[in-house]
Chains A and B, each alone.
Chain A
């Protein structure tokens, strides 16, 4: 097994160097492509963008946050960032953190440390296997000694330091993409290596937004009138793929249940402005579970402007059936594919 290091900086191979009848050079094009593809392939995705959680955990209580994502298949480590704070500075408070919830390696953090007061810290989750399957990722936090304020959380995949020259990572043997090297038809080598790596890389902007709480304090609604969960709508925007496109597909799911059985079920609804989406999922089960992920088309990047905004706005709304209460603990939106 050979590991091919990836670089800190992306590359920008120039199309002006590729012209009919002219040789495509290793130095200007193929090596730039190889390094650029590996930069994309090995750069970790942000699974959970930093979100304001703003809830408390009383001493002796454990709370769990759950998120739905489809990770990149080359990641080997997740980096969870947390901002925690003792609710009362004079009370000795610590927390025990595990990711995945229940089964992860427990790490205890003493919140009396002054450096942790405003400075988020990192929990490392090493993965047992690479996976690009849609899945739940989770973290639980147990408060010990006093009440803990949970102010924010994020999770990203750690960048790979190097890629394997195998059929999972598709690292390119860059020493074969140099001037005067012969073009040979060998896996992970030469031009074939560049093409194969390109065809198998994952350039997704994965986590778009999440809204998550522990199931014990889930969002609830009994009325059939829809209730918006946030004060301001989310500015939703996803990568642009095709020529002329103004929208692109994203997936969403929610972790929800009905408090009691029977009836027609409750609803979780996604509503957008510019892209004019109204997509409603019906919740009927009485056990918390993720609904089957649903696809919607929302605004994509606008390369005609400096900042790329289209200002599509997305609201998350819930409703019960008038008699029974819907409970929603998490809502997740992610990009599933840019293939």
Chain B
């Protein structure tokens, strides 16, 4: 079970069943199921899709996939920073990761990796990926394909996060990993209002690829990342 609510679904309610007049008792079921259960469930399901693209099969001539001919890990795609949702324990919401790729030619074997980090963070994302794949820094903020692909037809790829949890399709920042990314971003208090600061944990998703044959590229055709509360 991977939600934080008691029931892991929403209990139907109407305003009048919640609170309809002064001096009326507040029922324990209304409080427990409607308020407590639903608030937790809504907080669970509100996790946002942060990236979702599939390479175009048709359209403008500009290559619709991200590609590298590098035989070392090369950053092929980076999302803009986004304020990742934060759990109550200071870790980030998990990110559900889906990666699709292909090799330009069957003579190449290609690998893909994903790092949840931030540009300018104390640790370079590429270094984090290299060390996590090598096993010297176990971290579940890094995801890596299980095996190299030589398939030239775009396909979804299997992998694992490289930390102690070793998820199949999740990555996340622990509380300690998230701490360097905490910041206060300037924003108005309200429409046309005075300036204020909102605390955020700004993160980015870095996708890396490499090929074992520099003549033929590794192509990232699909990437999807969705926030997910995860296991309690």
A228 and B57 form a contact (CB under 8 A): yes
B98 interface residue (CB < 8 Å to A): yes
A12-B88, A152-B79, A161-B197 known; A40 and B39 CB under 8 Å? Answer: yes
Which residue of chain B is the closest to A18 with respect to CB atoms?
Answer: B32
Q: Please, how many residues of chain A have a CB less than 8 angstroms from a CB on the other chain? A: 106
B176 interface residue (CB < 8 Å to A): no
Which residue of chain B is the closest to A126 with respect to CB atoms?
Answer: B188
A152-B79, A154-B80, A159-B83 known; A307 and B40 CB under 8 Å? Answer: no
Q: How many A-B residue pairs have C-beta atoms within 8 angstroms? Tell me.
A: 307
From A31-39, A99-107, A287-295, the one touching the partner chain is A31-39
Residues of A within 8 A of B62 (CB): 54-56, 149
B147 interface residue (CB < 8 Å to A): no
B189 interface residue (CB < 8 Å to A): yes
Residues of A within 8 A of B2 (CB): 303-308
B57 and A52 form a contact (CB under 8 A): no
B134 interface residue (CB < 8 Å to A): no
Residues of A within 8 A of B192 (CB): 126
A232 and B100 form a contact (CB under 8 A): yes
Q: What are 26 A-B contacts defined by CB distance under 8 Å?
A: A24-B31, A37-B39, A43-B83, A50-B52, A50-B79, A50-B80, A54-B65, A55-B60, A76-B188, A77-B188, A129-B191, A152-B77, A161-B187, A161-B189, A161-B196, A161-B198, A162-B196, A195-B19, A198-B38, A205-B49, A213-B60, A219-B58, A229-B56, A232-B221, A235-B98, A306-B231
Q: B-contacting residues of A (Cβ < 8 Å)?
A: 3, 7-15, 18-22, 24, 29, 33, 36-37, 39-40, 43-46, 49-52, 54-56, 76-77, 81-83, 118-122, 126-130, 149, 151-152, 154, 156, 158-162, 164, 185, 191-192, 194-196, 198-199, 201, 203-211, 213, 217, 219, 227-235, 237, 239-245, 301, 303-309, 338
